[in-house]
Amino acid sequence: MNTPTDDESDLRYAEYVLGVLDADARAAVEQELAASPQAAAAEAQWRQRLLPLAEAAGTETPPPQLWTRIRAALEFDAPAAAADARGGWWQNIRLWHWLTFGSGALLAAACAALVVIATHRPPSPPIPYMAATIMETDGRVGWTATMDISKARMIVVPGAPQPVRADHTPELWLIPRGARPVAVGLISTHAPMTLTLSASLVARLGPTARLAVTIEPRGGSPTGQPTGPLVAAGMIGAAPASALHLAHTPQRRA
């Protein structure tokens, strides 16, 4: 049933769940889990097998102030942060996923989302957001990327990308017009990823730049330049920014 290599990788997930790996090995497994749905499924199976043992630890009542500490850490009671409730709309990956799941309504959805978002931050000037739909060669939406310039981060939500072969991972590149690709980070075919952008990367984002995805060996391109096949690409657009603009000119009625 199980070949020795199957057992070997399956055992690594078991060791990860049990917790016997050192910090480096744990990090390596976590990267694998983010990149491969098969790995995530195998790990989930080991969770189901082993974690019931936690019941043997029994229960302890946490001190009542712990809940207060958690609320404080999440800034639940800060009235000004109402819009930033859970780290802000930005954190609501699920929302983005739903919004971008079907490619048809993508732009409208992004606009609608940003209209709502804009209204949550009353007196601020238009916030620089950019977005890109990264299409696969067959026309399917591979990923959707949304960039928050002020916070220097990009959220990349998979649409329906082609599966990636074992030991490989999709890598995202920024290609400024007329320049060489710059690595943005490793992304996943099944899980949303938030990537932190360096200042130099942020400076190069703009409507003349393009985002592209290539398939690289696990851990990313060994050379710092794309080595694998290009599977998807898309221009960076300022559409959501104009949606923000729309939100600030409310007299425009349909």
Partner 1 sequence: MARRGRTAESTDLRLARERRQQALESRPDLPENLPGPQFLVQAAGRKSTGGAIRHRAPRRGQLMNDTSTETDTLEQLLVRTAMGDREAFARLYQHSAPRLFGLCVRLMRDRNEAEDVLQEAFVSIWRRANRYNPSLGGANTWLTAVTRNRAIDRLRQRRESTNTEPLDFERLPDANPGPAGLAMASAQYLRLERCLQQLDPKYSRSVRAAFFTGATYKELAERGQVPLATMKSWIRRALLQLRTCLET
- Which helix or strand (DSSP H or E) is residue 16 part of? helix 4-18
DSSP single-letter state for residue 171 = E
Rounded distance, CA 192 to CA 202, Å? 20
Alpha helices in 121-217 (DSSP H): 199-204
Task: Decide: is 93 part of the binding site for partner 1 (CB under 8 A).
Answer: yes
Task: Decide: is 6 part of the binding site for partner 1 (CB under 8 A).
Answer: no
The whole-angstrom distance between residue 28's C-alpha and the CA centroid of its chain comes to 18
Which of 241, 239, 244, 152 minimizes the C-alpha distance to 204? 152
* Residues from 127 through 166 that contact partner 1 (CB under 8 A): none
Binding residues with partner 1: total (CB under 8 A): 75
- Minimum separation from the CB atom of position 40 to partner 1 (A): 7
- Pick the piece of the chain touching partner 1 (CB under 8 A) from 112-120, 131-139, 220-228, 231-239: 112-120
Considering only 20, 166, 179, 203, the residue that binds partner 1 (CB under 8 A) is 20
Task: Decide: is 179 part of the binding site for partner 1 (CB under 8 A).
Answer: no
* Residues from 35 through 74 that contact partner 1 (CB under 8 A): 40-41, 44, 47-63, 66-67, 69-70, 73-74
For partner 1, which is the closer residue by CB, 13 or 173?
Answer: 13
The whole-angstrom distance between residue 243's C-alpha and the CA centroid of its chain comes to 22
Task: Decide: is 77 part of the binding site for partner 1 (CB under 8 A).
Answer: no
Rounded distance, CA 85 to CA 37, Å? 30
For partner 1, which is the closer residue by CB, 97 or 168?
Answer: 97
- Pick the piece of the chain touching partner 1 (CB under 8 A) from 91-99, 136-144, 197-205, 229-237: 91-99
Which of 192, 131, 183 minimizes the C-alpha distance to 161? 192
- Pick the piece of the chain touching partner 1 (CB under 8 A) from 85-93, 179-187, 204-212, 220-228: 85-93
- Minimum separation from the CB atom of position 86 to partner 1 (A): 5
The whole-angstrom distance between residue 19's C-alpha and the CA centroid of its chain comes to 26
For partner 1, which is the closer residue by CB, 116 or 166?
Answer: 116
- Which helix or strand (DSSP H or E) is residue 242 part of? helix 239-248
Structural contact between residues 186 and 175, judged by C-beta atoms closer than 8 angstroms = no
